[in-house]
Amino acid sequence: MAVSGFEGFEKRLELRFFDDDKPITNNPMGLRLIDFESLDQVLNEVQCTVVSAVANRCFDAYVLSESSLFVYPTKIIIKTCGTTQLLKSIRPLIHLARNLGLTLRACRYSRGSFIFPKAQPFPYTSFKDEVIVVEESLPKSLCYRKASVMTPSNNPSRAWHVFTASADVESDESVVVVEVCMTELDRVNARSFFKRKGDEKNNSDSAGKEMTRLSGIDNINANAFICDFAFDPCGYSMNGVDGDRYSTIHVTPEDGFSYASFECGLSLYDDGHEDISEVLSRAIDVFRPSDVSIATTYGGDDYNNDVTKRVERLLAKKLGLKCRSRLMDEFPGSGTVVYQSFTPRRK
């Protein structure tokens, strides 16, 4: 393991709002009306910038210099890697939403265990300090709160940290969020995310498209429009847009601290979409990692143990990954989180 390097593990923040003058049809664009200059100022506080963007009728997707931002009419998702100051975005985003007549309904902050924890600035050196900062940034109306550190017995250094706060005891979110964190990527597969000789002459947009094609990322969801970006001299980010569904991938390919993440939002009840276990299998197969963790957040009463078991069976069958730990925790107003850890069978 390198003494120091780029921190791939992201911090993730999700804020959900409701319209003061219900229903949202009074303002169907909602948070998407926040102007770019205002978003850019928030991102400046976080210490990142927009490098690419795409939008459809449902939401706006931004690739950032450090990960991604998604803006829906009543929901914002922002995840940032490195040593960014993600929690500094909470207060200004709540303020911008309030100017549009939107009130905060729920907040969720989550992250894995950093590869280089000592390199993080305050408060990210301690989850307790992070929780304090989040709580101080939220209105008292979000009274249902819980913080949890989900620690797998097989690998205590790869814990999953979650804090949630909600104005309601029952979750209003029907979307299932799947977050995959992968370390020790296959060295051959990781080469796809280094710019090749001659790529310096090409812009990051065309180099990104080449990485998407060579790695097989374009096969994970053939229906998604991919907005990709290649970093110099290595590294890759992409956002996938498929109707109201998002997906995102971020790659730090350097040997010694290689890392990749895949995240998507989906519904368990929509017809015409592939089984999540198949999607996860293809996403993980792009990187062939030695260590995989999957955090799945189910809103409301949507927790489905069959889905959890199906993912485990398929990853074992197709990729030779054995589930070493499965943890579950419930969060008032924010649903259920299932955290699974996998390593190859040979380990």
Annotated binding site for substrate: 6, 66, 231, 254
Q: Which residue of the set 81, 107, 264, 323 is catalytic? A: 81
C-alpha 179/C-alpha 326 separation (Å) is 15
C-alpha 155/C-alpha 151 separation (Å) is 8
Q: Which residue of the set 68, 192, 237, 293 is catalytic? A: 237
One-character DSSP codes across 300-338:
TT---HHHHHHHHHHHHHHH-EEEEEEEEEEETTTEEEE
Q: Are 283 and 189 in contact (CB under 8 A)?
A: no
C-alpha 106/C-alpha 163 separation (Å) is 11
One-character DSSP codes across 278-300:
HHHHHHHHTT--SEEEEEEEE-T
Q: Which residues contact 114 (CB under 8 A, 6 or more apart)?
A: 7, 9, 120, 124
Known catalytic membership, residue 58: no
Known catalytic membership, residue 250: yes
Count of other CB atoms within 10 angstroms of residue 330: 13
> DSSP class of residue 178?
E
Q: Are 23 and 14 in contact (CB under 8 A)?
A: no
The token pair at 325 is: 């730990």
| Sequence ranges of the binding site | 6, 66, 231, 254
Known catalytic membership, residue 67: yes
User: Where do the H-state alpha helices sit in the chain?
Assistant: 36-46, 90-98, 127-137, 187-190, 204-215, 276-285, 305-319
- Closest C-alpha to 261, from 107, 120, 111, 159: 111
Q: Which residue of the set 48, 52, 67, 68 is catalytic? A: 67
Residue 111 region, left (φ>0) first, then alpha (ψ -120 to 50), else beta?
beta
Known catalytic membership, residue 206: no
Count of other CB atoms within 10 angstroms of residue 57: 6
Long-range contacts of 35-38 (CB under 8 A, 24+ apart): 38/96
Q: Which residue of the set 137, 227, 250, 334 is catalytic? A: 250
Q: Which residues have a catalytic role annotated?
A: 67, 81, 237, 250
